[in-house]
Amino acid sequence: MLDIKITKTTHPKPLPDPNTLVFGKTFSDHMFLMDYDEGQGWHNPRIVPYGPLPFELSCMVFHYAQEIFEGMKAYRTAQGKVQLFRPVENARRLNSSCRRMCIPELQENDFVDAVNALVSVDKAWVPSQPGTSLYIRPFIIATDNGLGVHASKRYLFAIICSPVGTYYPEGINPVKIYVENEDVRAVRGGTGYTKCGGNYAASIRAGERAVQQGYSQVLWLDGVHRKYVEEVGAMNVFFKVGGKVITPELSGSVLPGITRKSCLELLRDWGIPVEERLVTAQELFDAAQGGTLEEAWGTGTAAVVSPIGCLAWGEKNAAISDGRIGRLTQRLYDTLTGIQWGTEPDPYGWVLPIE
Ligand code: PLP
Ligand code: COI
């Protein structure tokens, strides 16, 4: 059990208008911090008013990006209670990222306690408008000063929170995605399966180009053969082809999404055939041409379940589900969000109420 010292703000900010929330732009009143020093381990867990921290410009994270993060949400139920969704999964993935990036791991229950404590202090910041939630961003940065390339001996674990609405301006309406042929995001043996900032830095150029051309994000191809689809900027992907659901396997360069895992569990429970395997862009466009690409959607904490209405690849264009949300996509969206916001029963024990 972490012994968290809590210092509350003397200047609480006004809560933002829940109707005009922009993803990740407003932050709650407090943040969680905990230090790591070699020889001492993780220590000094504390909740303090949200605000800037001083760092020397030689701080290692600024140069070599030894950094990892998580993304999760707190949801307000119709009864006014607040709950988390599968927080232990985030703790496990954080530790998997830690191992890859030579960052000291956290105890799973310390991670969950820290999230719990912060959300509990900032409970008023969990919005209640339909579709809104409190996005939680835990992260660890290397804080040693110096320009040598090696693992830092000091780290900061921090959690900040941001009330959010939908990730895409489209909301639950289908997004347009194109297959990226030029840049690659990750390769097997690299860091693709971790949530490290560097993966996202590498993806920004393609993302900017996509937006300039009227698309929401890109669909990445594998970095070796440049033919297997992997995932979208901030989502895993699923395709319903001829009655079967196909999602790219976790090859090492794909992020093991918690929403992906949850959707797979739901689909299997519903008796819908699911394949986790390599899938080429060619296979998808052939299916589209043959009329068997029935639905496509992305999954992610921020993006929830987002229908893909249009997929482009060079000159080729596939319109999916007539640009509407497909039936299975809708069912997944309804079930998952129902469990998250507490309007549906939670037979899997996925939600954790905040005290
Ligand atoms: N893939 C990438 C690259 C992501 O950034 C995310 C978002 O976290 C996901 C997939 C989906 O993961 P999760 O469902 O755990 O949020
Ligand atoms: C999330 O869905 O939690 C993410 O981390 C996506 C983010 C990169 C905006």
Instruction: Tell me the sheet residues that pair with 125.
Output: none
Q: How far, in Å, from the CA of 1 to the mean position of ligand 1?
A: 28
Using most ligand atoms within 8 A of CB, pick from 236, 264, 304, 306 the residue to mutate for ligand 1. Answer: 236
State the DSSP code for 233. T
Q: Dig out the tokens for 121 from the structure.
A: 């202090």
- The pLDDT value recorded for residue 169 is 73
pLDDT at residue 201, rounded to an integer: 96
Main-chain dihedrals φ then ψ at residue 71, nearest 5 degrees: -140, 125
b/e burial code for range 64-73 (CB count within 10 A of at least 16 → b): ebbbbbbbbb
Ligand 2 center–CA 39 separation, angstroms: 33
Average pLDDT of the chain? 96
Residue type, 227: K
- Express as a percent the part of the chain with pLDDT over 90: 94
Could you tell me the distance, in angstroms and rounded to a whole number, from the CA of residue 257 to the centre of ligand 1? Answer: 5
Q: Is 300 in the pocket of ligand 2 (CB under 6 A)?
A: yes
pLDDT-derived band at 155 (thresholds 50, 70, 90) equals very high
CB of residue 71 inside a 6 A radius of ligand 1: yes
| Number of residues that this document lists for the chain | 355
- Under a CB-based contact definition with an 8 Å cutoff, are residues 8 and 49 in contact? yes
Ligand 2 atom with least separation from CA of 71? 3
Judge whether residue 306 has pLDDT over 90. Answer: yes
Residue pLDDT, tens place only, 225-257: 999 999 998 999 999 999 999 999 998 999 999
The angle, 0 to 180 degrees and rounded to 10, between the axes of the packed helices 327-340 and 258-269 is 110
236 CB near ligand 1 (under 6 Å):
yes
Residue 169 to residue 219: CA distance in whole angstroms: 18
Which residue bears the tokens 């994000």? Answer: 217
Q: Sorting pLDDT into bands at 50, 70 and 90, what band is 85?
A: very high
Distance (Å) from CA 254 to ligand 2 centroid:
14
> Which tops the pLDDT comparison, 355 or 17?
17
Query: Positive or negative CA dihedral for 346, 352, 354, 355?
Result: positive
pLDDT at 27: 98
Spatial CB neighbours of 67, under 8 Å, sequence gap ≥ 6: 61, 101, 139, 140, 141, 142, 196, 197, 198
Residues pairing with 50 in the sheet: none
Q: Per-residue confidence at 336, pLDDT binned at 50, 70, 90?
A: very high
What is the per-residue pLDDT across 221-232, written as a single tens digit (0 to 9) for each?
Answer: 999 999 999 999
Q: Which residues lie across from 49 on neighbouring strands?
A: 30
112 pLDDT above the threshold of 90: yes
Q: What is the pLDDT of residue 114?
A: 98
Q: Which one of the ligands is nearest to 72 CA?
A: 2
